[in-house]
Copies of this chain bind each other. A is one copy, B any other.
C-alpha cells in the first residue's frame, strides 16, 4: 500500500515515532510511505518557534535510517494542510487524533474531484508520564521531554 502521513515533527517525539512506525507497518514491506513535512512558512503559523525545514528533515531521516524500515519512502514539502493528498494516487492516510478531521476533509475533496477515497488510519497519541498527550507545544514549554517524562 502507498501511505501518506504528514506533520511538522519538531522536535521528533515518541508520539511522532509511533505515527511513523505505524505508517510503515500499514504500508507493508513492499509498500511506500510519503511523509509530508510542513515548510517553514506553513509551520510558522504555530504558536511556538519551529526549527528550519532542513533540520527537521535531517531528524526524520536519521530516525527512519535507524529503524531500518524496508518500504521505500520519501519526504515532500507540505505547503498547506492537504499537500498532494487531494490528487495523488495512494491508498491510505495516517493521522493523529488531532488531525483526523483533516483526513475526512481530504476524502471529501477527493470524492468531489472524482478520485477514490483513501483509508484513514488514526493512530492514538502517546501519553506522557502525567497521562496527558506528548505534544511539541508541551515540550517547547519545558513541561515534558520527547519521551513524555515530566520535567521538574
Contacts and interface: CB of A to CB of B under 8 A. Distances in A.
Interface of A: 22, 25-26, 28, 97, 100, 104, 107, 116-125, 127
B118 A119 contact: no
Contacts of A127: 116
B117 A119 contact: no
Q: How many copies are assembled?
A: 2
Contact of A117 (B97, B104, B107, B116): B97
A123 B119 contact: yes
Contacts of A107: 124
A57 B107 CA distance: 32
Nearest to A104: B100
A118 B122 CA distance: 9
